[in-house]
């Protein structure tokens, strides 16, 4: 039920709606819950609403941590 997917904002239609791209599929969603969202942001989409914005720097840091763990094992 809490299924939500990361999708890229490609167009802002008005203050509360945007078009996202999800692996080539485009869909209109509400951004009323993340008013600060901009084009090129990745948002987490749940039941047609963006509920949060993904932070690329933090995502890179998490991936780097996985890689670091891998190195220390090697």
Partner 1 sequence: MKYVDEFRDGTLARNLAASLQAEVDPARHYSFMEFCGGHTHALARYGVVDLLPGNVRMIHGPGCPVCVLPIGRIDMGIQLALERGAMLCTYGDVMRVPASDGLSLLRAKARGGDIRMVYSPADALQLARNHPGREVVFLAIGFETTTPPSALVIRQAAREGIKNFSVLCCHVLTPSAITHILQSPEVAQYGTLALDGFVGPAHVSIVIGSAVYEPFASTYRKPVVISGFEPLDVMQSILMLVRQVNQGRAEVENQFTRAVNRAGNRAAQAVTTEVFELRDSFEWRGLGEVPFSALKIRPEFAPFDAECRFELIYQAVPDHQQCECGAILRGVKRPTECKLFGTVCTPENPMGSCMVSSEGSCAAHYTYGRFRDIPVLTT
Q: Which residues bind partner 1 (CB under 8 A)?
A: 1-6, 23, 30, 32-35, 42, 44, 46-49, 51-56, 58-63, 65-67, 69-70, 72-73
| Pair of tokens at residue 72 | 């220390």
CB of 10 to partner 1, least distance (A): 14
CB of 49 to partner 1, least distance (A): 4
The Cα 74–Cα 66 span in angstroms is: 13
CB of 11 to partner 1, least distance (A): 18
């Amino acid at each position: 039920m809490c299924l939500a997917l990361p999708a890229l904002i490609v167009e802002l239609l008005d203050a509360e709606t945007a078009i996202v791209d999800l692996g080539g599929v485009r869909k209109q969603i509400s951004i009323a819950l993340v008013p600060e969202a901009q084009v090129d942001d990745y948002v987490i989409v749940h039941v047609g609403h963006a509920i949060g914005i993904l932070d690329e720097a933090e995502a890179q840091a998490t991936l780097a941590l996985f890689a670091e763990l891998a190195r220390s094992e090697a």
